[in-house]
Structures are given as structure tokens and as C-alpha cells.
Structure 1
Amino acid sequence: MYGSYCLPFEKGAEDELKHAVGVVRPVSVAFEVVNGFRLYKGGVYTSDTCGKTPMDVNHAVLAVGYGVEDGVPYWLIKNSWGEDWGVDGYFKMEMGKNMCGTLQYPKKALVLVRIS
């Protein structure tokens, strides 16, 4: 058997997502981009204006890691807007609150290779 598959996580299963990012990585996630986000230059991004429902998300990115900064847990995420945006093309999104809907559509890739 061989091929590639996209496997969803259970919505809101942050521990499962954290394990996958730490072991498998990267994991595709989506979230809602709001006006202030485009100006991100560093730190842990948080917003009280973005939505958290499936209808709110409008941008797909890759969760590639996680950590804690100044006591705030975060997802390390690679954006698709190039290295001149954010911090070399990456940003930190606050973890634990489904910030901007990041837990609505997480998906990991599974590639199966047939070895003869």
C-alpha cells in the first residue's frame, strides 16, 4: 500500500495536535486573519477581535513547533507571506484558547511508501 493521506484531528484536541507537532510535524492549521495580524513583528500574538468558529477561519499555515514566552504558551507557525513578514516568515500564536480558530481544522499528512 502506498499513497498520501490527509488525516484530521478531533476539533479542539490540542494535546493531540501538540503531540503531532512535536513528533510528526508540520501540521496544517487554519485561522482567521484580522487587520492587526498583518502588522505582526514579534512576541506571542493574541487577539480579542478574531473569531473561533469554522466560519471565521480564512488562512492556512503550518504549525511547526511550540514553546513558552514570558509564561505564555504558544504555537510556532510558518506563514506563507515570505521571509520579510513576521519573524523570518514565522509567528507565535497563543496556545490554549483556540486563538482565532486555530483548532478548527488541524490536519497532518500521512505518506505511505511501498518498499519492495
Structure 2
Amino acid sequence: MDKFLLLLLLLAVFPFVFFQGVATTCMVCSLFRKGKCMAGKGNCTVEEGPGCRTRDIFYFNIRDGFRYNHTQLDCSNECKSWKLIRGDLKVSSFCCKDEDFCNKYRGKSLYWKPR
């Protein structure tokens, strides 16, 4: 009888343990430069939303074109990969999810090429 009650209890708890929304933890930093967070360091959690966001900020100068300035890391409910160029400013946004700290800045992409 005790084994039967234990089995019923396990069957009742199983869906709550294994089928609940998986949370993703993301890095937060409002000013990431030269391999470290200079301002606004922390973490955030995305329950079911799109995920962790990485935004690279570039500024234009006549001699070198667009040059990397800093990165911003955060959580976003409306996270989409996009690129914006407006005047002397370029912002590249990348998203990831389903892996904790997937937006950890790892340096320039091997596939990134200036235009």
C-alpha cells in the first residue's frame, strides 16, 4: 500500500518538476569593454521570453570607418537579431536562449566582417 501511495505521489509531482518553463540566466552589463564589465554588472532571468541579448555598439570615424566601442548585455522579451546604422552609430544585436549565460561576451565573431 505504501508503494502504491508513493507511486501516486510521484506521478502527481512529475509534471510540475519536468514540464515547467525552463528559466535561462543571462549576464547584464550596461558598459562592457576590454573583456570586463565597467558599469551595471548583474544577472537577469528569462522565464519563457525570447532570451538573452548582446548589443555591440560601433561609432564611425573618417579614418577607420566603424570601430567597436562597447557591448551591452541584458535580458529581452522582444529579442531579435538586427543591425541598425543611423549616422555615425551602428548597433548589432544578437539573441540566444536555453543556455545559462549564453550572452557572455566572447570577443569579436570569427565571421564578422566590416562593411
Q: Which has the higher contact order (CA 8 A, sep 6+)?
A: 1
Rg bigger for which structure?
A: 2
Same fold (TM over 0.5): no
Q: Give the TM-score of the pair, scaled to structure 2.
A: 0.24
Q: Which is richer in strand? A: 2
Q: Give the TM-score of the pair, scaled to structure 1.
A: 0.24
